[in-house]
Amino acid sequence: MALKKPVYLDHHATTPMDPQVLDVLERTQRQFFGNPASGSHSFGWSAEALVKKARLQVAQLVGAGEKEIIFTSGATEANNIALLGIAAASPQSQRTFISTHLEHSSVEGPLKHLEKQGFKVTRLDHDKSGIINPEKLSAVLNDETLLVSVIAAQNEIGTVQPVKEIGQICGAQGVLFHCDAAQAAGHLDLDVRALGVDLLSLSAHKIYGPKGVGALWVNRKHPPINMAPTSFGGGQEGGLRPGTLNVPGIVAFGEACRLALLQRDKEVQRLRSLKNRLLEQLKEKLDGIHLNGAAEPRLPGNLNVRFEDIRAGQLLPRLTVLALSAGSACRSGDTSPSPVLLSLGLDTLQAASSIRIGLGRFTTEEEVDFAADRISAAVLKLRAENP
């Protein structure tokens, strides 16, 4: 069978919808168009039942209760609801957030907004491998700390943070802990109780579901978490995310979560093997190649590598047969060096020499071998042209 081109290797930006998920989405769109808030007829009842089932499927992926899931338009909205909602309900005595230099823009953006409103944000440093030391968190926690927000797995360099240890520290101090798990879902065991998380953000399109749907898990603990709504309307989703629910998207999201949980362990092993195969081939064919971020713990399908004497802006146009990126899709069009790569201690030229490769559920060995050949050939040719 001929290799289908171009080869998609940008799964951290988004994932193709799983055929089973697509079937569920299309069937729901055709057959169950009712509004789940319409409680007076069967069309509404059917839609409500499907949403309830999906809520349970999403909850099961993270070890939560179904009533704790709030559906959103994606992880960006979930992050905004969590951070801005907690801030809006905060007492005057607690006006400090603690986060990191590794966060996605949908966390960093709200935090910068809150700083302009008078809140204090402390950002923890990480080591040169891109890992946070939990002891640094212990050193800065105090009575003024309102919430800690740490990404579970970094979207550019794939490094996995010590979420459980951070959760234990926050729990011992009685501080709320929010985690952006958009990239981690489907790859890591995200048992929210065991991790000690209070709020957790998810995105469907990162786990082979549709775009435009995600979720925020909010721990139903006692006393309850005090959050204020940041938008207003019909009062859906506990008043925290009003608006008519995207039933087909939510149902497809539920199916994506079911498949992710079912396939996770085998898929993690497969992706890790493919990633190692690709990196080994690149190192065999090329000198001057370096991995950005820790080799482990790392997302199983993530490679962020830099090539000496090469610029990503020169390399990627020669690799149109491969879908790759120079960094986060949310920074597309921004030609400045990645702040995450700079935070690892790389200089601007090293950061500009880096590309991100994201392997996924449908990536094959044949595609990995093809990518290794094309990338190495392009790098060697560029070096020959610009000695």
Catalytically active residues are 330
Residue 148 amino acid letter: V
The dihedral over CA atoms of 253, 78, 339, 372, expressed in degrees to the nearest 10, equals 0
- Written as one string, the DSSP assignment of 210-261 is -SS-EEEEE---SSPP----SS-SS-TGGGTS-S---HHHHHHHHHHHHHHH
**CA-to-CA distance for 193 and 163, rounded, in angstroms?**
12
Return the SS3 of 146.
strand
Compute the distance between CA of residue 164 and CA of residue 153 in angstroms, rounded to an integer. Answer: 13
Contact in structure between 32 and 245 (CB atoms under 8 Å): no
Q: Quote the CA–CA distance of 356 and 340 in Å, as a whole number.
A: 12
Is the peptide bond preceding residue 6 cis, with omega within 30 degrees of 0? Answer: yes
Give me the sheet containing 96-100, strands edge to edge: 69-72, 214-218, 199-203, 176-180, 145-151, 96-100, 120-124
Structure tokens that stand for 138 in this block: 């212990």
The answer to whether 358 and 12 have CB atoms below 8 angstroms apart is: yes
Whole-angstrom CA distances from 348 to 89, 127, 142, 312, 343 are: 40, 18, 35, 12, 11
Q: Please report the sign of the dihedral spanned by the C-alpha atoms of residue 190, residue 191, residue 193, residue 198.
A: positive
Contact status, residue 165 vs residue 192, Cβ threshold 8 Å: no
Structure tokens at 160: 């996995």
Output the six-digit token pair for 71.
């559906």
